[in-house]
Amino acid sequence: MTDRGTQQRIIEDLEVVADFDAAFETERRIRFLAEYVQHTGTQGLVLGISGGVDSTVAGRLCQLACERVRAEGGDAAFVAVRLPYGVQKDEADANQAVAAIAADDVYTVDIKGAVNGMWDACLAAGISIADERNDFVKGNVKARERMIAQYTVAGARNMLVVGTDQAAEAVVGFFTKFGDGAADLTPLYGLPKRRVRDIGRHLGIPENLIEKVPTADLEEDKPLIPDEVALGVRYAVVDDYLEGGDGTNYVAGGADNDTLVGVGGSDILEGASGRDRVTYLGATSGVVARIGTGTSGPAGEADKIGSDVEDLEGSIYADKLYGDGAGNHLIGNARSDVLVGNGGVDNEEGGAGADTLNTAGDGKQDKASCGSDSDVANADTIDAVNADCETVNKT
């Protein structure tokens, strides 16, 4: 159940935009940036461009604001800064974003030398970092080095540094202190993630950048890990909360292959034609989910999953996932899960954790794919069971 009082305080504190209008909000934010530059006597704006939707939209707002200052007789320029750690894995997206922004000036500053120099100096000083925290800590060093570079440019050219913080990241605390959380101006403030995308469309940003899977890409052992995986919650769920929803929805797929998010409130989730998936990846606890019947979700939520849904994805916690007799794809993800196909030609993936996969008893040629840890597969003799299943019981 949603605590309405707390929810409303969060919405007010973050100044979440109500009655959103993309054209109005675009103009309001361009005007804010232009007037701030004029009133401070600075000579423009600086922003790091990653190729994600937030920096691309913020960058285009900055460029338009600086053009407005010049049109009104002022002197201002926008500087887009590319900040790769060596070679960025999604370099093509970053280059496309820079082109879409059409920045006055573009610098590329490779932060790898600075990051590794700081890292090596700390290790040489005797600082010990546990293996499991190594990549997390170093990732935050990368974020802070990127902000050092942006403030260096701003200081050299008498400019202001722009940040990309928006309401969805603010409410879940998804930023690095003194890294991407440090800036002079935040033109996306108060916008849920979906509203940033709406402004991007109004600005004519390419759709592939608008719908690109968000990733901070700070951890070397998990390159391009999606924000939603790192957070354990979907931006759509966060956005619904910020816009006052109670999480109870009727969600239906269309004619194509759809993904339906079954997190937050008691939902009715129905597929249609195409191959449809219901996911609980953003749940805050384990779920018991059954295609074709009810679901016991986090906090006692009770979803109804239609029999026209083919695939079912659990949370990052311990789940129990049940198919409906058709050919289902059941995905356990992390922790110790129980997967039961219940007939049909099924594909069960345990993922990490000690899982129990059940494909036995239906006489169909199913597939059981275990992951890490000690897994058990109960299967028919004709089922395909991978080598990662430590215990295999065939009947």
Give me the active site residues, please: 54, 169
Other CB atoms within 10 Å distance of the CB of residue 309: 26
Strand partners, 81: 48, 107
Measured over the CA atoms of residue 303, residue 308, residue 314 and residue 320, the dihedral's sign is positive
